[in-house]
Structure 1
C-alpha cells in the first residue's frame, strides 16, 4: 500500500501552481496551510505563550496566519519578524494579523517557539544574525516547532546549510512531505512529523513514504509450502545466517530452511540442510533465497553466491555477498533481486556498476537500481528503497538503538521472508523495512539483534 507522496521543491512548486491555475490563489493556500499548522500548535500549546518567528517570504506569511489563528482562539501569541514581508501574500498575511509585531532584537521567551523564518526553498546558509536568532529563540522556549522545515535545511538533500542548528520537537510539513523530513542529517533535527494537506494532487513518479503493510492471515487450507519456503545460505560465519533465519520465522514465511555446513546453535524450528548446496537449492518449492550474512569473501563464498543467484526465485543479497556481487553475476538472472547495502556496501556496488556515487541519497539509490536491475534498500538511519522502474520510498527514522551488530541481518531475513510469502520485490522491501523499524520500537533500550528478531512477530501482528 503506497504511503503519502514525498516531493522535491520543484514538484511542490508545480503542484501549487496547478492549484492556482485551477482557481485557487497563493493567499488561499497560505490560509489553509497556516491554519492547519495552527491546529497542531494549539494542541501542544493551548493558552501557553507561543512565539512565532516570521521571515520575509511565504513561509513567514504562513507564520502570520498561524499567529492570527491562535490569537482568534484566545491564545497568547507573539510574532517576531526577522525582516519585513517581501511577497504580496506575506504582506497580506501580516496586515491580517491583528496584534503587535516585534523586531528581531526583542527579548522574548515562552512555551512554544514556532520557526517560520525560511521554508523548503532555502538554498544558501542562514546569515549569522538569522542563525543566532533561531538558536536564541529555541533556547528560551520549552518546545520548538518547525513549519514545513527547520530553517537552515536543504529540502531535497537533507543537508544542513548551517552548523549547530537547534533540534525541534515537531516539524509540521505543508502540502506534502519533503525529502529532508526523512534524510540525514536533517532527519535528526525534525522531531515528530505532522502533515497539513492543502489539496495537492498526486504527482506522477513521486517518491512515497514507507507505511504499515496490510497483512492477511493465511487461508484456511494453507500449509508451510503455500505460505512460502525461504532458503537461507550460510557461510564461514553461520551466526549471521542463523540470526536472519530467526527473524524470517516471524515475518510470514511458512518454512525457513538454512543451508549450512554444521548445525551448531540453530533454533529447533529452523530446518538445517548440510547437503551439497547445488543440489539442495534445486528444490522447486523455494519461493525466495537469502545469501550474504556471514558468507565470507573467499572463493567458496563466491561459489555459494553464484549457486544462490542461479535459483530462479527472488533473491535477497546482503552483507558479504554485496562486496562479491558483479554485473556478470546478475547477467543471467530473470527473477527479482533485492540488495540491502549499508553506506560502505553501497559505495562498493556503485563502483562495481561504474557509477560515480554523486547526487542525493535517493538519486544514488535510483541510479544503482536502474544500472543493476535490482531493488536497492540503502539502509541506515535514513533508509531509502529504490526500484529499477523508478519507484522510490523513504522510511521514517525508527530508533538509534538499531545501531548495533546484527540488526542488518535481521532486516535481510524479514525482507526475504516477505518475498517468500509471495510479496513482490519492491513491496517486500518496503514491508520488511517497516516491520524492522516497528519491531525496534517495541524493544527496550540497548536491545540486541536477537531480541529484535524476537519482536518481529509482534510487529507483524500489528498489521493484521
Structure 2
C-alpha cells in the first residue's frame, strides 16, 4: 500500500535524490525553484499581513535561491523587502545564481542586518542542506532575532535544524511557520524540531509523486493506514475467547496499581479476557479493586510454567510495578515463546544481561515489544543511545534489529520501529499524556491488541496512536485512571 502523501517523510538525503531524479526526468529545476519561491512569498503575504518589512536571509545554495525568488515576488507585490546574503553573491552557482541575478533590489551582507520592529524574517539560509554547526555569524543573527521576538517564516526547515534528527546544529531559528516542498522531513516531527518549525505547510512544486515515493525510505508519520489492515474487528459471532486472553503481572502488595492500570486498559482496548497474575501478598489488595478483570496467584517461575501449561493466554504484559531483578528475568525467559510487552521494571531488569533477552526472542516472528523511555532505552542499548550521529528514528531502528523486537521509544515524539527497518513517528499525543501511569496504560493497550492477533509492530503502532487519541478524549486534566477508561477510544474519536 502506498503511503499517503500527508504521512510521507523524506530524509534530506532522500530529498536530494528526488531532486536529482526530477532533473533526470526532464523537469526544469529553475522552474521548480520559481514555484517554491513563489509559494514562500504567498505564505508570507497570507500569514503576515501586518509586516512592515520582509527581511529575506539568503544562503549559498538552492535554499537561498528560493529566498531570492520570494524576495522578487514580494517586491512585485508592493511589499517592503530587504535581502541579506550569507555569502558573496558572485560565488553563487546554478539556479541560485540565476535567481539572485533576477532580483533587482539591493543585497547586503548578512552581518549588516539589525532587527527592527515590524520585521518578518524569511529564513532561506540553509533549510535541510546543513550537516555541520551553523557559522558564528548565523548563530549571532539567530540570537538577535530571538531576542527581538521577530516572527520567522522558515524555508524548508529552520536553518540550523538537522532534517534527519530534529536537533539544532549549534543553534537554530524558532519559526512561527515553516514551508517545505513535496514532503516533510523527520526533523519536522522529531523534538525539538517540531516545536522549532511552528506550523508546517507542505507545498507541491510539481515533482511527480511517483518520483518522490521511489526515493522514500521506510520512515513515516504514524497513522491508521499502516496498521488498520491488521486491526481487530468484532463480528456478530465473536466470542470472548476469540478476542484473546491478556495476562498482566502484578508487583508485590505495595505496588499493584500499575498492573491494574495496564489490565483495565487492556480490557477497554478489546481483549476478551484479562487476568492479573499476582504474588500471594498482592492477592487481597488486587481482589478488592478488580471486578471484570480476573485474578490468578503466581509466585514463582514454577507457578508460571504450570499456568502456561493449563491456561490459554494470548499475550502478556510484564514490567509495570513488577520490581527489578532475577524474578523478572526468570519470568521473561519462561515467556520467550509468547507474545510479550516488556515495560518499565521488566526492561531495567535486563540492563546487565541484555544479550540474554535479545537471544531469547531472536528466532521466528517478532513477538516482543519493548517500551522504553529515554532512560530505559539507555540502559538496554547504551552504545546506541550514546551515539551523537544517530537520531531517534535511527536509534530505534538499530535497537529493534538488535533485540528482534518492536521498539516503542517513548517521548513527546514516540518512535515505533520494527526489526525490518520500518519506523513510524507519532505526533498525535497531547502533552498532558506525560503523567504518572500513562506508560502502564500504553503497555496494556498494546498487549490487548497483540492478544487479539495483531503482529507486534502493528500492535505497537496502533497502541501508541490510540493512546494519543485516548489522551485527547480524556482531556488536559486527565489522570492515568481516566486514560485507562478511555483506552477503548474508536478511530473516529
**TM exceeding 0.5:** yes
* Deviation at residue 98 of structure 1 after TM alignment: 6.2
Partner-residue secondary structure (3-state), 1:177: coil
Which residue number corresponds to residue 52 of structure 1? 56
Contact 2:428 2:469 in 1 (8 A): no
Which residue number corresponds to residue 182 of structure 1? 189
Stretches of structure 2 lacking an aligned partner (at least 5 in a row): none
* Deviation at residue 244 of structure 1 after TM alignment: 1.4
* Residue 63 (structure 1) aligned with residue 75 (structure 2): no
Residue 410 of structure 1 is aligned with which of 427, 436, 441? Answer: 441
Counterpart-to-counterpart distance in 2, 1:398 and 1:75: 42
- Kindly provide the CA deviation profile for residues 420-448 of structure 1, in whole angstroms up to 9, marking residues without a partner as x: 23222112211122222233344444533
Counterpart-to-counterpart distance in 2, 1:29 and 1:186: 26
* Residue 115 (structure 1) aligned with residue 127 (structure 2): no
Residue 301 of structure 1 is aligned with which of 328, 331, 334? Answer: 328
Residue 258 of structure 2 is aligned with which of 227, 240, 256? Answer: 240
Which residue number corresponds to residue 462 of structure 1? 492
Contact 1:45 1:111 in 2 (8 A): no
* Residue 274 (structure 1) aligned with residue 300 (structure 2): no
Which residue number corresponds to residue 175 of structure 2? 168
Counterpart-to-counterpart distance in 1, 2:145 and 2:184: 25
Relative to its length, the structure with more helix (as a share) is 2
CA spacing shift, 1:99–1:377, aligned 2, 3 Å: same
Which residue number corresponds to residue 26 of structure 2? 23
Counterpart-to-counterpart distance in 1, 2:470 and 2:295: 26
CA spacing shift, 1:160–1:195, aligned 2, 3 Å: same
| Structural mapping, 1:202-281, within 5 Å | 202=213, 203=215, 205-212=217-224, 214=228, 217-236=233-252, 237-261=255-279, 262=283, 263-264=286-287, 266-274=289-297, 276-281=303-308
* Deviation at residue 70 of structure 1 after TM alignment: 5.0
Residue 150 of structure 1 is aligned with which of 158, 173, 178? Answer: 158
* Deviation at residue 319 of structure 1 after TM alignment: 0.9
Contact 1:55 1:82 in 2 (8 A): yes
Q: State the TM-score, normalized to the length of structure 2.
A: 0.82
Greater alpha carbon shift after TM alignment, 415-424 vs 139-148: 139-148
Partner-residue secondary structure (3-state), 1:453: helix
Contact 2:85 2:107 in 1 (8 A): no
CA spacing shift, 1:294–1:51, aligned 2, 3 Å: same
Contact 1:51 1:109 in 2 (8 A): no
Counterpart-to-counterpart distance in 2, 1:355 and 1:125: 22
* Deviation at residue 22 of structure 1 after TM alignment: 0.6
* Deviation at residue 193 of structure 1 after TM alignment: 2.8
Contact 2:240 2:272 in 1 (8 A): yes
* Deviation at residue 407 of structure 1 after TM alignment: 1.7
Partner-residue secondary structure (3-state), 2:37: helix
* Deviation at residue 337 of structure 1 after TM alignment: 0.9
* Deviation at residue 338 of structure 1 after TM alignment: 1.0
Q: State the TM-score, normalized to the length of structure 1.
A: 0.86
Residue 421 of structure 1 is aligned with which of 452, 471, 475? Answer: 452
Partner-residue secondary structure (3-state), 2:488: helix
Greater alpha carbon shift after TM alignment, 370-379 vs 221-230: 221-230
* Deviation at residue 47 of structure 1 after TM alignment: 6.2
Which residue number corresponds to residue 316 of structure 1? 341
- Number of matched residues? 456
Which residue number corresponds to residue 371 of structure 1? 402
CA spacing shift, 1:251–1:171, aligned 2, 3 Å: farther
Counterpart-to-counterpart distance in 2, 1:378 and 1:286: 26
CA spacing shift, 1:282–1:41, aligned 2, 3 Å: farther
Contact 1:375 1:425 in 2 (8 A): yes
Partner-residue secondary structure (3-state), 1:124: coil
CA spacing shift, 1:216–1:397, aligned 2, 3 Å: closer
Counterpart-to-counterpart distance in 1, 2:370 and 2:274: 20
Stretches of structure 1 lacking an aligned partner (at least 5 in a row): none
Which residue number corresponds to residue 191 of structure 1? 198
RMSD of aligned Cα (Å): 3.1
* Deviation at residue 59 of structure 1 after TM alignment: 0.9
* Deviation at residue 272 of structure 1 after TM alignment: 2.3
- Kindly provide the CA deviation profile for residues 363-404 of structure 1, in whole angstroms up to 9, marking residues without a partner as x: 322222212211111112332222111212222373443333
* Deviation at residue 339 of structure 1 after TM alignment: 0.8
Counterpart-to-counterpart distance in 2, 1:420 and 1:69: 58
- Kindly provide the CA deviation profile for residues 227-283 of structure 1, in whole angstroms up to 9, marking residues without a partner as x: 332222222322111111222233333332222231245343322223643333346
CA spacing shift, 1:136–1:356, aligned 2, 3 Å: closer
* Residue 34 (structure 1) aligned with residue 34 (structure 2): no
| Structural mapping, 1:81-96, within 5 Å | 81-83=84-86, 84-85=88-89, 86-96=92-102
CA spacing shift, 1:36–1:337, aligned 2, 3 Å: farther
Which residue number corresponds to residue 355 of structure 2? 327
| Structural mapping, 1:343-422, within 5 Å | 343-350=374-381, 357-358=386-387, 359-360=389-390, 361-396=392-427, 398-422=429-453
